[in-house]
Amino acid sequence: MNEVIHDPAWIHGALTAARPQAVAALLRYFRDMDIAEEAYQEACLRALKSWPQNGPPRDPTAWLILVGRNAALDGARKRSRDVELPSHDIISNLEDAEAPLIDRLDGSHYRDDVLRLLFICCHPELPATQQIALALRIVSGLTVAQIARAFLVSDAAMEQRITRAKARIAKADVPFEAPGPVERSERLAAVAAMIYLLFNEGYSAGNDPDRAPLCDEAIRLARLLLRLFQTEPEIMGLIALMLLQQSRLPARFDETGEAVLLDDQDRTRWNAKLISEGLALIDKAMRHNRPGPYQVQAAIAATHARAATAADTQWAGIDALYAALERMQPSPVVTLNRAVATAKLHGPEAGLAMIAPLEKALSGYFHYFGARGAFLLQLGRSAEARADFDRAIALAGTPAQAAHIRRHLDRLMHDPR
C-alpha cells in the first residue's frame, strides 16, 4: 500500500470518491455550503501532505470529514471569538444521521449522505437550472467549466448561477435534513436530471481516467434512487439508458485512444451483461404505459443494442422515437440527434435542412458543427465541410472529440473532391 499511496492518481481517485459523502457530512455539521466546500478542500490539501508520508487512513472518507470539520472549526475560531458554532452534539457526532431506510436500501453498511444532499440541492426554492447546477457542483465536484459546458453557457454565467443558488438556499433557511416522501417526489425530476448530466460528463470524456468514473457513480446513484421509487418508470428508463450507453465503452475507442463512431464499432465488444439488464429495464418501464423522455431515449439506445450490425439498425424506428422526444422535450440538441436518423433515411440534404434553423442556438456546440460538416462532406461540399470541421475542433471538449474531427480533415486533404 505504501507504493500505491505515492501514486498521485490513486490519491486523486480516493479524494474524488470521498467527495460526495464528505461534503454532505460537513454540510450537515455546519449548515453552510461554502464552509462545507472550503472544509473539504482544506482536508484534501492536508491529505496530499499526510498520506504520502504516513500512508492512507483506514477510512479515507471518515478521515476527510474529521480533518475538514476540525479545520473549519479552527478557521472560525481564528476569524472571530464571537462566531456562533453549531452545538457540541452536532459537531461531535460522526455517525450517519440519514434515515434508517437508506441504510436498508443499499446494503447493511451503507454510509452515504449523497441522496440527502441531492434532494437538498434540488429544493423547490431554486429554479430548475440552478438546482441541477448546484447539485453538480456540490455533490459531484464538477468544475464550473464542466457544468457550463453541459448547459451550453459561459463559465461566468454558470459561476453566477451557482452563487445565486447558494445565496438563495441560505436566505430561505433550507433545512439540511433528508426531505420526507412528498418532498422527494416533488424534487425527483431535478435529481434525475442531475444524475444524467453527471453520467454525460463522464461519458463525453471518453477514456479520460479522471472523468470516466463519473458514469459508474451516476449509475450507482440512479440504482439507489430506484430503490426509493420502485415503481417509477422514468427512473427505470434512466438506468436503462445509462446502462445501454455504458455497454459500448469497450468499443468506443481504438488502441490509440481515438473515438470510434457507433457505425464503425465492433459490436462483439459491447458489454452483453449491461445490455441485457438495460433491455429488461426498458421493457419493464414501458409496461407501465407512462412514457417519458428517459424511456424514449432508452428505447433509442435499445434499438441500437438490438442491431447485430450497423446495417441492421432500424433507423425509421429511431427517427419516430426522436420525433416523440421532440414533442415531449423540445430541444435543439434533440432535433440535431434526430437529423442524424433523418439523414440515414432520406440522405444528407434532409439532415442539413433539419439542422439549418439550429445554428444560432447551437453556435457553441461541438456536435452541431461536426454533424453539419459530416453532412456537407457526404454531399461533396468539401470547402464548407472543412470550415465546419475547423469550428468543431475549436469547440471540442476532449482530445478524443478533436481527434475524431481531424480524421475527417485528413480525408479532405487526401480526397478533396
Tell me what pLDDT residue 134 has: 84
Tell me what pLDDT residue 92 has: 45
Give this prediction's pTM. 0.73
Tell me what pLDDT residue 411 has: 64
Tell me what pLDDT residue 206 has: 66
* CATH among 1.10.1740, 1.10.287, 3.30.43, 1.10.3470 for 1-79: 1.10.1740
pLDDT tens for each residue of 49-68: 888 888 888 888 889 988 99
Q: What is the 3-state secondary structure (H, E, C) of the chain?
A: CHHHHCCHHHHHHHHHHHHHHHHHHHHHHHCCHHHHHHHHHHHHHHHHHHHHHHCCCCCHHHHHHHHHHHHHHHHHHHHCCCCCCCCHHHHCCCCCCCCHHHHHHCCCCCCCCHHHHHHHHCCCCCCHHHHHHHHHHHCCCCCHHHHHHHHCCCHHHHHHHHHHHHHHHHHCCCCCCCCCHHHHHHHHHHHHHHHHHHHHHHHHCCCCCCCCHHHHHHHHHHHHHHHHCCCCHHHHHHHHHHHHHHCCHHHCECCCCCECCHHHCCHHHCCHHHHHHHHHHHHHHHCCCCCCHHHHHHHHHHHHHHCCCHHHCCHHHHHHHHHHHHHHCCCHHHHHHHHHHHHHHHCHHHHHHHHHHHCCCCCCCHHHHHHHHHHHHHCCCHHHHHHHHHHHHHHCCCHHHHHHHHHHHHHHHHCCC
Tell me what pLDDT residue 207 has: 66
Q: How far is CA 390 from the centre of its chain?
A: 27
Tell me what pLDDT residue 256 has: 76
Tell me what pLDDT residue 327 has: 96
Nearest to 264 by CA among 317, 310, 327, 296: 310
| Chain position carrying cell 423522455 | 293
Q: Which three cell numbers mark 169?
A: 438556499
Tell me what pLDDT residue 353 has: 96
Domain boundaries defined on the chain = 1-79, 114-204+212-230, 234-247+272-306
Q: What is the mean pLDDT of each run of 10 residues along the chain (417 residues)?
A: 60 80 81 86 90 84 89 77 53 42 34 68 80 80 81 86 85 67 79 87 71 80 86 96 95 82 92 97 96 96 96 96 96 95 96 95 91 93 92 80 73 57
Q: Encode burial over 112-123: b for 16+ CB neighbours within 10 A, e otherwise.
A: bbbbbbbbbbbb
Cα separation values, 337 from 38, 154, 321, 371, Å: 40, 23, 11, 9
